Chain A
Amino acid sequence: MKAGWWDEAKRWSQFLGRLARPGGPPEYSLLFLHFRCICFETILPVLLVAVFIGATATLMGFHAFRALGTETLVGSYAGLVCLRELAPLLASAMVAAKPGTSLTATLAVMRSTEQIAALEVIGTDPYRYLLLPRIIAFVMATPLLVIFADAAALGASFAMAVQQLSVTPEVFWREVARFVAPHDLGIGMLKGAVFAALTGLIATYYGFNAQSGPRGVSRAVTRAMVAMAIADVLANYLISEAFYGQ
């Protein structure tokens, strides 16, 4: 059970090498199926969490700025914080939590019930048939969800500022427009795609290499979720530092 760092790294590189092995294009019907599943099952939680986080961030920003007597700046603060950082992170966190861990559990169950072995026996490459379409579907779906999260967080922020904190709508949108540039949206979507690739790889890796039995399944889910969270925040910092750090 206690695999050293070296073994883990070796298994990762074998896994990635096997995934990258060239072959025909992935099956488009499978790709579309997984894409639709990910979008439909994640959109509601993403919107819900985005609303809460947008409102909380606005409340906090308002109080930070009130100390300076510049509470009207809350629009630009909320816009920047939500679109640049919070919306991509929370959309990816939800993608990791719902379809991500569900994918890990599915693969781990397939491993315990020897369905993966059965696939190999009938000559189907599990990497191409099971893993690749799902990973690509993650990368396609998450940027879309980031856009929805952007809209929900900004909407909640607007409602909070106007209803609770008595900022006028004109001032709010003027401040948003003053500092938020279209490329912030693009970078947010790029972040979503990168996080989704990491999520897909980690989820499939831990599910595919799970030990059999119920405890193996639950351990795979736990490790995958922790690894995805750490990978996402690390990637988030690196991308932000690269684009905004000068």
Chain B
Amino acid sequence: MAKLAALGRWCLLLLQTLIAVVSPPYFPRQIWRSMRIVGIETVAPVVTVMAFMGMIAALQGLVVLRLFGAERLLAGMITQAIIRDLAPAMTALMLAAQVGTAIAGEIGAMRTSEELAALRVLATNPVRYLVVPWFLALALLAPLLTGMGATAALGGSFVVAVSLHGAAMGPFVAELVAQITGATLWEASSKALVFGAVISLIACHHGLEARTDAQGVGRAANATIVQGVIVIAAVNAMMAVVLLKAGA
């Protein structure tokens, strides 16, 4: 029952945030700060992790396709996998790890030192002042970061397939470029946008409800990453089915 109540409060937060997004007042300085943190701090982890994911995709793809003597299909297969699934999901995971836990910790710490109460005393709505900036920053920048991650992953897969394992370079690049179509890019960015929005709300929800001591802050960060991983996997599976039905 407690979990259901938490889900209900999460939905209320979603509703409040959506209303606050389309109506003034806005806090441009807060939005700019959130965007700077999301944009700058996550680039390095996202690019590193995605480069290795691309390398592993190329390695296993090559091993499997060699069994059928169909190596030239490698680039097409892994480009599809990277752009449509790996890049949005892994970028979202890294966003949850880097920004999500930080948001939960920050808001939790603000709650501990009664800064949220102070905001209310100043007649500032915490949802508008704290949640909306993170929501906008994560939702808008997640597609961009996914793009960077996908580029890094394709670079990593190129290094492994062509430089280390001797796939032919020309067909590899040609197949790779042929797979980058409007439809795949649209799919990737819509997924990334949803993931970013969901992560920001999970993190803010846990921060706003954190218990007011050091332990509560740690637990809020922990709960954020756990729920983030589960929700990303679930939403990814659902969106794969939905987008497939829509496309077919």
Chains A and B are bound partners: yes
Spell out A's residues near B (CB within 8 Å): 45, 48-49, 52-53, 55-56, 59-60, 63-64, 67-68, 73, 76-77, 80-81, 84-85, 90, 93-94, 97-98, 101-102, 104-106, 108-109, 112-113, 179, 212-215, 217-219, 221-222, 225-226, 229-230, 233-234, 236-237, 240-241, 244-245
A39 to B69: give the CA distance in the assembly, Å: 42
The answer to whether B56 touches A236, judged by C-beta atoms less than 8 angstroms apart, is: yes
A230 to B64: give the CA distance in the assembly, Å: 25
Residue-wise, chain B 87-125 has the 8 Å CB interface mask toward A (1 for contact) of 000000110011001101110110011000000000000
- B6 adjacent to chain A (CB < 8 Å): no
The answer to whether B214 touches A85, judged by C-beta atoms less than 8 angstroms apart, is: no
Kindly list chain A residues whose C-beta atoms are within 8 Å of the C-beta of B233.
48-49, 52-53, 56, 90
The tally of residues in B whose CB lies under 8 Å from a CB in A reads 57
A26 to B221: give the CA distance in the assembly, Å: 30
Q: Could you pull out 12 A-B pairs where Cβ atoms are within 8 angstroms?
A: A45-B230, A53-B233, A55-B237, A59-B240, A60-B85, A63-B80, A85-B60, A97-B228, A218-B104, A218-B218, A221-B105, A222-B102
Of all chain B residues, which has the CB nearest A225?
B97
A217 to B219: give the CA distance in the assembly, Å: 10
- Output the least CB separation between B53 and chain A (Å): 6
Of all chain A residues, which has the CB nearest B216?
A214
Kindly list chain A residues whose C-beta atoms are within 8 Å of the C-beta of B70.
68
The answer to whether B214 touches A109, judged by C-beta atoms less than 8 angstroms apart, is: yes
Residue-wise, chain B 55-85 has the 8 Å CB interface mask toward A (1 for contact) of 1100110011001101001001100110011
Kindly list chain B residues whose C-beta atoms are within 8 Å of the C-beta of A73.
68
Question: Which of B28-36, B44-52, B127-135 lies on the face that meets chain A?
Answer: B44-52
The answer to whether A225 touches B101, judged by C-beta atoms less than 8 angstroms apart, is: yes
- Output the least CB separation between A156 and chain B (Å): 9
The answer to whether B98 touches A226, judged by C-beta atoms less than 8 angstroms apart, is: yes
Residue-wise, chain B 205-247 has the 8 Å CB interface mask toward A (1 for contact) of 0000000011101111110011011100110110011001000
Known A68-B73, A80-B64, A218-B104; contact A98-B226, beta-carbon cutoff 8 A: yes
Spell out B's residues near A (CB within 8 Å): 45, 48-49, 52-53, 55-56, 59-60, 63-64, 67-68, 70, 73, 76-77, 80-81, 84-85, 93-94, 97-98, 101-102, 104-106, 108-109, 112-113, 164-165, 213-215, 217-222, 225-226, 228-230, 233-234, 236-237, 240-241, 244
Of all chain B residues, which has the CB nearest A244?
B63
Of all chain A residues, which has the CB nearest B86?
A60
The answer to whether B105 touches A217, judged by C-beta atoms less than 8 angstroms apart, is: yes
- Output the least CB separation between A1 and chain B (Å): 15
Known A98-B226, A214-B217; contact A60-B81, beta-carbon cutoff 8 A: yes
Given contacts A105-B215, A105-B219, 16 further A-B contacts (CB under 8 A): A49-B229, A56-B236, A60-B80, A60-B84, A68-B73, A97-B225, A97-B228, A101-B225, A105-B218, A109-B214, A215-B109, A215-B217, A221-B101, A225-B97, A233-B48, A240-B59
Give which listed residue, A52, A213, A221, A229, contacts B222 with CB less than 8 A. A221
